[in-house]
Amino acid sequence: MGIDLSIASVSKKFGQFEALKGIDLDIEKGSFVCLLGPSGCGKTTLLRIIAGFEKASAGQLLLGGNDISRLPPHKRDFGMVFQSLALFPHMSVAENIAYGLKLRGLSKLKRDDRVAELLEVISLPAIADRPVSALSGGQRQRVAIARALAVQPRLFLLDEPLSALDAQLRDAMQIELRQLQQQFGVTTILVTHDQTEAMMLADKLVVMKEGEICQQGAPQDIYRQPANAFTAEFLGASNILDASASDQGQVQLSGVDTVFRTDAPAGTALKLSVRAESVVLDRAPHLSSGPLGEVEFIRNLGASTEILVRTGVSTVRVRLPSRDSILQDLRVGEQVALQFDAESCVVFRADAA
């Protein structure tokens, strides 16, 4: 698998505002890349630069080794699915899907074949002649995807296309989208602010913040080893606790030494990230070495139950399976000790970006 698209120190300024600050990113052929970040992080700007709708203020885009930075968008041969889907309201479903093929000069016969093939792929064979206004949300979604894939694009770009769907449908569409992408083997870049969506779809996850890439890599790796507090927080209900380095090179949590070691000089402010599901409660605090706290709030989420434990400096979120025996008579106000699963804790400097 070679590199398909290479983004080299691309930056973008809107007047004084720096939307992108020197982005470097390599995208492998056939891979599914998710650009993940909160709104205003520059992810959509980056996608629009890739598509050609915005011009980068500096930097290069190399597609298969060729510089495409100056190529106008209609000559890039990419397929794009927009946030609003942007189906052509005055055309039928078939005409929508065939539009790109028509521009490429395909005969009516070949166009019809390809449209039928794609409608089969998106499992909506019977809607070819319907106007797009008569489609449901999920159907529109599929038609927009089919329209972009019909032209066999070099790159498949998606700008938060699933954000308008309700949760259940979005879930189903995520699975479908991933299957389609693998079936077509097309290099895909998707922009989203939904971490579950990104986790489930991506081969490579790119976390962005304020115009910069915070971290990139396989989703599981980023999930397990976030490089900084921002990534850790963005990728799920993590606890980010203030810690510090002790003289002996150990990580201290509210004054208590932990098993974690650090090479940071004594007194450095650190952060310890631990997932809610990696914390264990101990109801005999006097026997435990972990930090103490008081149960502040309990809520049952069905399969799991969330408990907020107030320690001296912060509130720790704990998630236990609801059938855990400890939950049977746990009361608000009770003293408990917290134990962290060392495997799933990550320590980083407080100023890490």
Partner 1 sequence: MSRVGLMPEEGGGSYKLLVCLLAGIGIIIAAAPMAIIVIMSFSAAETSSFPPSEFSLRWYETALTLFSSDESSGSQAVGAALSSSLLVGLVVMVLSVAACIPLAYALVRGQRRLRQSMELLFTLPLVFPLVMLGIAFLLIAESLRWELGIWRLIIPHLALVMPFVLRNCMSAMQSISRETEEAAISLGASPLRAGLDIVVPLMKPGILAGLIFAFIISFNEFTITFFMYTIDQSTLPIWMYSRTVSSLDPSTLALSVFIILIDLVMIIAIDKIIAGRSSLF
* Smallest gap from residue 314 Cβ to partner 1 (A): 43
Helices (H), the chain: 43-51, 93-103, 108-121, 137-150, 167-184, 195-201, 219-224, 229-234
CA atoms of 165 and 171, how far apart (whole Å): 9
CA atoms of 197 and 201, how far apart (whole Å): 6
Q: Establish if 134 lies at the interface with partner 1 (CB under 8 A).
A: no
**Cα angle 214-216-180, degrees, rounded to a multiple of 5:** 130
What backbone torsions phi and psi does residue 204 show, to the nearest 5 degrees?
A: -130, 130
* Smallest gap from residue 336 Cβ to partner 1 (A): 52
State which of residues 100, 161, 290, 293 lies at the interface with partner 1 (CB under 8 A). Answer: 100
* Smallest gap from residue 196 Cβ to partner 1 (A): 25
Q: Which is nearer to partner 1, 99 or 184 (CB)?
A: 99
* Smallest gap from residue 74 Cβ to partner 1 (A): 5
* Smallest gap from residue 213 Cβ to partner 1 (A): 24
Q: Which is nearer to partner 1, 106 or 298 (CB)?
A: 106
State which of residues 14, 24, 55, 104 lies at the interface with partner 1 (CB under 8 A). Answer: 104
Report 197-236 residues binding partner 1 (CB under 8 A).
none
Which helix (H) or strand (E) element contains residue 238?
strand 238-245
Judging by beta carbons within 10 Å of its beta carbon (0-12, 13-18, 19+), is residue 98 exposed, middle or buried? Answer: buried
CA atoms of 226 and 347, how far apart (whole Å): 9
3-state helix/strand/coil string of 183-204 = HHCCEEEEEECCHHHHHHHCCE
Bridge partner list, 269: 244
Q: Which is nearer to partner 1, 51 or 279 (CB)?
A: 51
* Smallest gap from residue 53 Cβ to partner 1 (A): 6
Residue where the block lists tokens 């790119």: 206
Q: How many CB atoms sit inside 10 A of residue 198's CB?
A: 25
Instruction: Mark residues 60-99: x for contact with partner 1 by CB under 8 A, - for none.
Output: -------------xxxxxxxx-xxx-xxxxx--------x
Give how many residues touch partner 1 by CB under 8 A: 26
* Smallest gap from residue 88 Cβ to partner 1 (A): 6
Q: Are 60 and 33 in contact (CB under 8 A)?
A: no
Q: Establish if 115 lies at the interface with partner 1 (CB under 8 A).
A: no
State which of residues 9, 24, 53, 353 lies at the interface with partner 1 (CB under 8 A). Answer: 53
Instruction: Mark residues 153-192: x for contact with partner 1 by CB under 8 A, - for none.
Output: ----x-----------------------------------
Contact footprint for partner 1 (CB under 8 A)? 51, 53, 73-80, 82-84, 86-90, 99-100, 103-104, 147-148, 151, 157
